[in-house]
Structure 1
């Protein structure tokens, strides 16, 4: 027994009922059941977590340079641990070298370096080595056992969903059971399911603690849901694409049983595009030919959600008493137009971590002011002089920074138009923004560019009225656009992840039944992240996330022995897919703009990994279906595939 005070090692247990599950299950013609196992893996950033701390005894202040990707909103936690006033602590962002969630609230290196610096009286650097990062970091991924039931009519319509999961959290529960909050934000996937029961048991063990890893628990729910949907299709003799099509949500906004809302979508259009670019019908014919030749090809098709832009209620609504009111989870930007008309954007959360916020912010600023994105300078500010910010996580950054840029740009134009009206001796209402400046409507030769306005505001303030201040600089703190509180009885968990992305992945694999090896023959994916901001960076998200999903599905696993010793503490034993194992992706996009976000944008940062494990599992099971073999455990290593074949009497 690890925790005597708990009477065991189960730190949390709760069952949620949304709707009448028992009645809906009884009304189903078929109840499909499955036991499944998702084993733990973790993000593997190119650079581990580190910090350089420098304590100034004369001012009792501390400056810490760190590659943690979120520290602005939670500065008080680090300051409290160090017993410093928050205004005496300045945390300065440096490029993260990749994160995938693993550097979200990564505070241990910063605190250790700071404590040592104060003791030593000189700057101290603390940097994890790879073994430390893998065995004692803040962020291993989920580690779950599932029992799932799905009620289905003979026509293939879903009636009710029952999920019972046991989650191995390791030594601590850093984020409460927020992983399951993520799951409940999209628990029914893209389907009309009238009722849901969700039971979670959070278990403490002597493994490393769980934390954030790309998907943060909702990718696991996608996998479990899509496996039971695919099994239902198999038992009813309905094509996997068809059973999904029959159950798609078609009208928006749509409130799911747990209370979250989906803002927009066109799931059937995404499915059709994915089947087209993935050549679904052709591969079905190829599959039949291959089976006649004794080869085992499988086609995986899944439709899954990607929630974006969290509200912090996901971390505490499991408990009877609210941990806090609805939080704003803001993001901030300061835009400065200098005397020559050049624009600098200052961000306040963290430096480059792979999402390329510099590219995205420069692009958004350029669109607002009709300038070249390369002429926009993007810089970062430490916490001491920073504005409220939350940082990345939950596919939120593009939506939130777009709102902040839009707001700050509006403030700058509001001041600039008044200055332009004065300089042009025109009424403000007679001016319009066009091609990087303000001009008199119908008289385009009477105009002032932004640079001409800026130089006057910077150097010649006394040319204007007394209420005009020098300079052209504005900030915007952009708060979460739409979130609500849960109901007191938790029958409705509220709106906390409303901007719902969607995707359909179609991998084609061949399984070698003699070795258990899995080879990719094709991989197609269509994603809907609302209005596209930068297709190239989104493609990077999907490619990288799919590579990580391949690792989760086929290769990566933190293995512990019976005494809790980690056996895979280096890349000699912890296997990561290389370019040889990752196929070329055929990608496409569909746009269903959100009605509630700036420009209709939705997040897409966790794309790929949210879908790939489910799709690859379906593909492998489709390949092995003629042999009566079904794999329900990830990763699907060659040993596990061979063991399943032997259990079915297939000797290979």
Structure 2
């Protein structure tokens, strides 16, 4: 169990401006497209116009003759020189860098051109002739499961890539003994992360050394670097991935492999550096990060007094043409499947279906935000069935503070929490009683005002078992997902901290590092510089994802600090002629406890460590540097029968979001009156940056709930392949967020920190859905699908009125 700090912190918990802001707000940040290498060429990609077709013939001769073209490659070249792309799928579901024999979705890469500039490369793509034999596409996942449906992967023999039912507890008994059961069919559509900067990379192959350097805005190059090397058929030691600042990720760059692998491969075959940066259409059509695309049949059993007893979930998930992450997004859901409630049993059935669409990947929430929406929909149905206040049914079923750590039916542990305290803060922040009264007054006036409440979880810091516990005999039973850090104090007493698994990605990793190191050594943050290692020099690391980075990098920094402090104290003890146990760090000095005048500054100690070796005891080496690799602080293996999935996501935050809206039933438009959010992420490191997390995440959640959707026609063509058709929310489309925090420190992590990176998107879809449904309650409308567009609202009202406009 981690030791939670007892002294009042100086820097942890302070709203310190981001240290990254100085360069980025002045336009001095360096992104992938700012990087130019000598003799660098540029790439463009030819993509399939068909969702499903065999490739009969490719003629690249005209493209190769175009002046300025250096190289044209096709799937034949890929098949000869490369392995398939990295995947965690089981069975014969292989994805190649360029389609080899057939294409499986519209937009799949078919050929690539390397040219003097991007303009010439794009023109050359237009000159490539491809003869296709169109095949019947399968777009609907339910049709894909029918006998005789066209197969996305013939070698698999089915479009069902995975199907299994997990049962935790006495589900049938709990349903049989419950007073009530509510059921619903729910739909969560596919959307995606849309960061300002798309995915990009530069490959630079050195034929002399055989080393391939890839500059990329990827988020966890250390963790997956060896997989990219395997695809490229080169030793991992000969692949150096250099992290470049990323203009946002939201999951889109978590397992970014297509673009870096493409740039690396093209550099190897072209014999020069090659840059490839997606345009927006590329980013939408052929990304690594489509969000969940699910159909649910859900039932909730409960008693007359509102006690929630059991939950049944049957999910059909449309994964698209490939299965790069396996079914891991549902592991995220199972980590918090019962939410903050004392539900005693769960049945979870998953059917993963392949269709002729681009694959799923990582998008903020990674599947658990969907489960929150589903569960909160069902709790609202139960409250309506009983005529019970929606806040009170939640309060009645909360896990109590004295019950933590709390084991949920799947086996995961919730570490700490005070859910009722969060609810009370949120009700006060939104002025709930006032709006309840205002809602009734509005209805008497013929206005349609609604209040939506969600109380939901934010799991953080994944353990890798979630990617393989789906199988009795997993082919790749990975259990390690560490984070590393190196702290160096230079001869002048200044700190340089090296991170080993990421670059700046729009968040504030350098700010987190600065605050933690400043806290550990009690120094001024201005004395700390943060830098990043490339993959050849990096220690083990996993990078951001699953709201893990703050917890894990803090663990690595605390471990490295402890090692470095021990050496510093030895030097200071020798100089001051005291025991190391009698020393403490304070205001940039090491001083004798109780005698603050007897002290040495860190720059004095550092100079001694670097320049005066013979003045030190023989067991002290020159220099001041320490590294530490921090493994997951609390995880257990699943049981052999999978009745207990083990502890795999134990640092569980919690939040309550409450939205108040007013709907115009004639137009389907609505206005926000209020939006309040209270989060508990354990000990807050930086309230200002956490506020940004919550705000940004909530906006993305509202985008999913109200605007964004990947729409395909019957032939598999995407109808929303640009921002002309794929709507994202603007600042004019979202409310002001009133945000507050509650802190229940985790007993298992340094400083009691929990993750908070995904919290806003975890909650806002449920809150806005509930608010709009409450506003439409006089019409009897039930909202069971997203996105909730004005035209749908009008249609639902007309349907409720019997079809009359």
**Deviation, structure 1 residue 34:** 0.8
Does the 8 A contact of 1:65 with 1:93 survive in 2?
yes
Does the 8 A contact of 1:326 with 1:484 survive in 2?
no
- Correspondence for 2:321 among 171, 182, 197: 171
2:596 counterpart residue number: 444
Does the 8 A contact of 1:631 with 1:641 survive in 2?
no
Does the 8 A contact of 2:290 with 2:359 survive in 1?
yes
Q: Any unmatched runs of 5+ in structure 2?
A: 1-149
Matches within 5 A, 1:285-300: 285-300=437-452
Q: Provide the C-alpha distance between the structure 2 equivalents of 1:390 and 1:241, rounded to a whole number of angstroms.
A: 39
2:524 counterpart residue number: 372
- Correspondence for 2:353 among 190, 196, 203: 203
2:654 counterpart residue number: 502
Q: Any unmatched runs of 5+ in structure 1?
A: none
Structure 1, 442-451 or 29-38: larger mean CA deviation: 442-451
2:273 counterpart residue number: 123
Corresponding position: 1:422 with 2:574: yes
1:595 counterpart residue number: 747
Does the 8 A contact of 2:583 with 2:591 survive in 1?
yes
Matches within 5 A, 1:16-31: 16-31=166-181
2:408 counterpart residue number: 256
Matches within 5 A, 1:31-110: 31-110=181-260
Does the 8 A contact of 1:65 with 1:92 survive in 2?
yes
Question: Cα RMSD (Å) of the superposition?
Answer: 1.0
**Deviation, structure 1 residue 567:** 0.3
2:378 counterpart residue number: 228
Q: Secondary structure at the match of 2:733?
A: coil
Does the 8 A contact of 1:326 with 1:485 survive in 2?
no
**Deviation, structure 1 residue 611:** 0.4
CA offsets 1:184-231 (integer angstroms, 9 cap, x no match): 000000000010000000010011100100000000000000000001
- Correspondence for 2:666 among 489, 514, 535: 514
CA offsets 1:551-576 (integer angstroms, 9 cap, x no match): 01111111000111000001110011
**Deviation, structure 1 residue 81:** 1.0
Q: Provide the C-alpha distance between the structure 1 equivalents of 2:488 and 2:230, rounded to a whole number of angstroms.
A: 33
Q: Provide the C-alpha distance between the structure 1 equivalents of 2:586 and 2:318, rounded to a whole number of angstroms.
A: 57
**Deviation, structure 1 residue 374:** 2.4
Q: Provide the C-alpha distance between the structure 1 equivalents of 2:432 and 2:704, rounded to a whole number of angstroms.
A: 24
1:273 counterpart residue number: 425
1:455 counterpart residue number: 607
Normalised by the size of structure 2, how large is the TM-score? 0.80
Q: Secondary structure at the match of 1:299?
A: strand
Corresponding position: 1:538 with 2:690: yes
Q: Provide the C-alpha distance between the structure 2 equivalents of 1:425 and 1:69, rounded to a whole number of angstroms.
A: 47
Q: Provide the C-alpha distance between the structure 1 equivalents of 2:682 and 2:596, rounded to a whole number of angstroms.
A: 35
Q: Secondary structure at the match of 2:315?
A: strand
Q: Provide the C-alpha distance between the structure 2 equivalents of 1:366 and 1:427, rounded to a whole number of angstroms.
A: 24
**Deviation, structure 1 residue 425:** 1.9
What number of residue pairs does the alignment pair up? 652
CA offsets 1:409-449 (integer angstroms, 9 cap, x no match): 11111000000011112222332333322222332221111
Corresponding position: 1:355 with 2:355: no
Q: Secondary structure at the match of 1:73?
A: helix
- Correspondence for 2:800 among 626, 632, 648: 648
**Deviation, structure 1 residue 6:** 4.1
Q: Provide the C-alpha distance between the structure 1 equivalents of 2:530 and 2:514, rounded to a whole number of angstroms.
A: 7
Q: Provide the C-alpha distance between the structure 2 equivalents of 1:304 and 1:35, rounded to a whole number of angstroms.
A: 20
Corresponding position: 1:282 with 2:434: yes
Q: Provide the C-alpha distance between the structure 2 equivalents of 1:496 and 1:616, rounded to a whole number of angstroms.
A: 30
Corresponding position: 1:570 with 2:722: yes
Q: Secondary structure at the match of 1:538?
A: helix
Q: Provide the C-alpha distance between the structure 2 equivalents of 1:510 and 1:392, rounded to a whole number of angstroms.
A: 38
Does the 8 A contact of 1:311 with 1:326 survive in 2?
no
Corresponding position: 1:238 with 2:388: yes
Does the 8 A contact of 1:325 with 1:485 survive in 2?
no
Q: Provide the C-alpha distance between the structure 1 equivalents of 2:468 and 2:477, rounded to a whole number of angstroms.
A: 10
Does the 8 A contact of 2:468 with 2:477 survive in 1?
no
2:628 counterpart residue number: 476
Q: Provide the C-alpha distance between the structure 1 equivalents of 2:395 and 2:581, rounded to a whole number of angstroms.
A: 51
Q: Provide the C-alpha distance between the structure 2 equivalents of 1:576 and 1:427, rounded to a whole number of angstroms.
A: 61
- Correspondence for 1:160 among 306, 310, 332: 310
Q: Provide the C-alpha distance between the structure 2 equivalents of 1:120 and 1:154, rounded to a whole number of angstroms.
A: 71
Q: Provide the C-alpha distance between the structure 2 equivalents of 1:608 and 1:323, rounded to a whole number of angstroms.
A: 35
Does the 8 A contact of 1:299 with 1:506 survive in 2?
yes
Does the 8 A contact of 2:523 with 2:586 survive in 1?
no
2:470 counterpart residue number: 318
**Deviation, structure 1 residue 5:** 4.2
**Deviation, structure 1 residue 120:** 1.4
**Deviation, structure 1 residue 372:** 1.6
Q: Provide the C-alpha distance between the structure 2 equivalents of 1:524 and 1:433, rounded to a whole number of angstroms.
A: 41
CA offsets 1:108-162 (integer angstroms, 9 cap, x no match): 1111111111111111001111001001101110010011100010000011100
Does the 8 A contact of 1:45 with 1:97 survive in 2?
yes
- Correspondence for 1:193 among 336, 343, 357: 343
